[in-house]
Structure 1
Amino acid sequence: MKQTLSFFPAMLGMLLLGSCTENKTPDASATNATSAPADPSAAVADTARVSGKPCDIKLANIHFTKAVNGADTLTKVAAGGKMTFRVGEKKDFFCDPNDNKLSNNTAPILLAEVDNTKPFTLVSKVVPGFTEKGLYNAGVLYIYVNDRRWHKLCFEQDERGNHRIVSVRTVGTSDDNNHDVVKAPSAYMKISSDTRTVASYYSLDKKNWQLVRLYKNDYPAKIWLGVSAQCPVDTGTVSYFEDISLTQSSVTDFRLGN
């Protein structure tokens, strides 16, 4: 009798276990973990893109064919190639790593398509529209893939009113790096790649370049390079870009920027 009683609980346990196994819904988090890409940058490669529109703005050494956030309606190019770039209030591009409290993707950007399987260099003289209350006002150069994967090099006003070079790299969320203070009202800025490395620079005379940032070029074969103005806090401003140039060649010395 003792053997018979021990047999039935064992059988009942096996039946219940089989029933739970058959009816269990797969755990979504486990499924996602298995299928998640190993490369962090790939996780944001297919995120929703900011809705850029075709445009046709030709300068001597660059052709902008995409406008983000109405940038083509906010820019004007003079006969000598000097670009006036107006920006409205609270316009910025930033993916806040802290609960998205400061996230903003409203800054206007003019973009030119680039073959990233070849070297490239984007350079411009930048005259930002600094104002008394213009915290984070900046003239900006961009590498742009989509709204969650981009890099910007800024001549920007900081919290103490200093004007400095700032770089922001975004892969899902943005970092924020403050670099040298620049006393001059303008600076030449440059982003260059030899297909393997991306580097950012600034110069006051377009001859002596200061390295700001360098990292591996892990962007896709097709990317966009461009210019922008931002005004995250104030009511609007005007920045200027001169001598804008985009070439399919790179600097030869990534430390010196020449």
Structure 2
Amino acid sequence: MLSLDGVPLELIDLDDAGWAVHDGDLTVRARAHSDLFVDPSGGGATAAESQSNAVRLLGAAPDGDWTLSAEVSVDFAATFDAGVLLVWLDETTWAKLCFERSPQGAAMVVSVVTRGVSDDANCATIATDRVALRVAKVGGVFAFHYSLDGTVWHFVRAFSLGASREVLRVGFEAQSPTGDGCDVRFRDARFTRHTLGDLRSGE
């Protein structure tokens, strides 16, 4: 179990990846050729098993509404390298908000929601080397936002993962689907028992 100031959850390194805290920052190195993605072109459970090898640090989310945010930076080296906020029910039901390197070499905010198979949506190109990401839960709905200054939040998407008997977990992920690994850092991570007043404005 790892202790992180600002995130009062029992965070578990599910993949023995060596997550660490340095001066309050959460760091990890993504493993080579690692990802979370269930190809929508086919494969179902087989695809989920073969592409569920990204490293994860997750804690059980409490009942009620909450937010998880962090400033994310990635030592981008290869396409789809990313630092991620992750909401997890099981191998085929989860969602991720990524700071990710595009095939064109740009840093982007990207989201994926998986219910059996994954979708994949690019949101915005980021001109700086870091971005703040946030996931919020309000009732049975989740929302993803990003911010360039940690104050003004921009809407990415809202979605539901549906009803489940599984424990909902939330936390962090790092991936390097086409590369040999990358270093990822999460700064100023914060988990709050807060209800957003408006999912789309982010306030």
Judge same fold: TM > 0.5, yes or no. Answer: yes
How far off its partner does 1:219 sit? 4.5
Instruction: Name the aligned partner's letter for residue 199 of structure 2.
Output: F
Distance 1:220 1:246 in 2: 23
The RMSD of aligned alpha carbons is: 1.7
| Structure 2 residue 38 is the aligned partner of structure 1 residue 95 | yes
Instruction: Tell me, yes or no, if the aligned pair for 1:135 and 1:234 is still in contact at 8 Å.
Output: yes
Structure 1: runs of 5 or more not aligned: 1-55
| Structure 2 residue 103 is the aligned partner of structure 1 residue 159 | yes
Instruction: Tell me, yes or no, if the aligned pair for 1:130 and 1:237 is still in contact at 8 Å.
Output: yes
How does 1:114-125 map onto structure 2 within 5 Å?
114-115=61-62, 117-125=63-71
Q: How many residues align?
A: 197
| Structure 2 residue 80 is the aligned partner of structure 1 residue 136 | yes
Structure 2 counterpart of 1:127, from 64, 73, 78: 73
Give the structure 2 partner of residue 206 of structure 1. Answer: 150
| Structure 2 residue 131 is the aligned partner of structure 1 residue 187 | yes
Give the structure 1 partner of residue 186 of structure 2. Answer: 241
Instruction: Tell me, yes or no, if the aligned pair for 1:127 and 1:241 is still in contact at 8 Å.
Output: yes
How far off its partner does 1:256 sit? 1.4
Instruction: Name the aligned partner's letter for residue 69 of structure 1.
Output: D
Instruction: Tell me, yes or no, if the aligned pair for 2:65 and 2:139 is still in contact at 8 Å.
Output: yes
Instruction: Name the aligned partner's letter for residue 243 of structure 1.
Output: D
How does 1:1-258 map onto structure 2 within 5 Å?
56-62=1-7, 63-71=9-17, 73=18, 75-78=19-22, 80-100=23-43, 103-115=50-62, 117-131=63-77, 134-216=78-160, 218-220=162-164, 222-258=167-203
Answer 1 or 2: which has greater strand percent: 2
Instruction: Tell me, yes or no, if the aligned pair for 1:195 and 1:217 is still in contact at 8 Å.
Output: no
Q: What secondary structure does 1:105 align onto?
A: coil
Q: What secondary structure does 1:94 align onto?
A: coil
Distance 2:171 2:140 in 1: 20
Distance 1:216 1:231 in 2: 26
Structure 2: runs of 5 or more not aligned: none
Distance 2:16 2:52 in 1: 12
How far off its partner does 1:242 sit? 0.6
How far off its partner does 1:66 sit? 2.4
How far off its partner does 1:217 sit? 5.6
Answer 1 or 2: which has greater helix percent: 1
Q: 1:126 to 1:64 in 2, by over 3 A?
A: farther
After the TM superposition, which parts of structure 1 deviate over 4 Å for at least 4 consecutive aligned residues?
none
Give the structure, 1 or 2, with the largest relative contact order (CA under 8 Å, sep 6 or more).
2
Instruction: Tell me, yes or no, if the aligned pair for 1:129 and 1:139 is still in contact at 8 Å.
Output: no
Higher-Rg member (1/2): 1
Instruction: Name the aligned partner's letter for residue 55 of structure 2.
Output: P
Instruction: Tell me, yes or no, if the aligned pair for 1:130 and 1:137 is still in contact at 8 Å.
Output: yes
TM-score relative to the length of structure 1: 0.72
